[in-house]
C-alpha cells in the first residue's frame, strides 16, 4: 500500500496531496488584495501559485497531467487562454477542461485545479 503525503494541511483541506507519484493541488485562485481585477492579472497570479506548489511537491508545469479551469464568465476565455498559452511549455499541454462557474467571492474571476506527476 502506498502512503499518502499531505502538505500544508488545515482542518478543511491540504494544499498538496501526493499519492502513487501523483500530485494533487487544491484549487488555486489568482486574486490578492493588491491585484487589479482583470482576468489576465488573475490568471498570471494563479499560475504563479501553481508553479510554487508544484515546486514544493517536487514537480513542475512540464509534468501537469490534467487541469480544470473555472471562469466566472466565459467572455474571459480568450484572454485567459493568452496567458495560459504563454505559460504552458511547448509539447507539454495537459488534458484540460474549462467551465463557467460561480466563484466563492465576487472579486474572483478564475480558479484552477491541477493534477501532476512527480518528476524523476
Q: Give pLDDT, residue 106.
A: 85
116, 95 Cβ separation under 8 angstroms? no
pLDDT digit string (tens) for 19-54?
999 999 999 998 655 555 789 999 999 999 999 999
pLDDT at 117: 98
Residue 107: per-residue pLDDT: 87
The superfamily in CATH containing domain 4-117 is RutC-like (3.30.1330.40)
The domain ranges of the chain are 4-117
**Cα(84)–Cα(105) distance, rounded to whole angstroms?**
22
Taking 50 as the pLDDT cut, the residues of the chain under it are: none
Instruction: Provide the pLDDT for residue 32.
Output: 59
Mean pLDDT of the chain: 93
Query: Which positions ≥6 away from 102 have C-beta within 8 Å?
Result: 72
pLDDT of residue 37: 77
Q: pTM for this one?
A: 0.92
Amino acid at each position: 500500500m502506498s502512503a499518502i503525503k499531505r502538505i500544508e494541511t488545515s482542518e478543511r483541506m491540504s494544499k498538496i496531496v501526493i499519492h502513487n507519484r501523483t500530485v494533487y493541488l487544491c484549487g488555486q485562485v489568482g486574486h490578492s488584495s493588491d491585484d487589479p481585477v482583470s482576468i489576465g492579472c488573475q490568471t498570471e497570479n494563479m499560475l504563479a501559485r501553481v508553479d510554487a506548489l508544484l515546486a514544493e511537491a517536487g514537480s513542475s508545469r512540464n509534468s501537469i497531467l490534467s487541469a480544470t479551469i473555472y471562469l466566472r464568465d466565459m467572455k474571459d476565455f480568450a484572454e485567459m487562454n493568452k496567458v495560459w498559452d504563454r505559460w504552458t511549455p511547448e509539447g507539454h499541454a495537459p488534458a484540460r477542461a474549462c467551465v463557467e462557474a460561480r466563484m466563492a467571492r465576487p472579486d474572483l474571476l478564475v480558479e484552477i485545479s491541477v493534477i501532476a506527476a512527480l518528476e524523476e
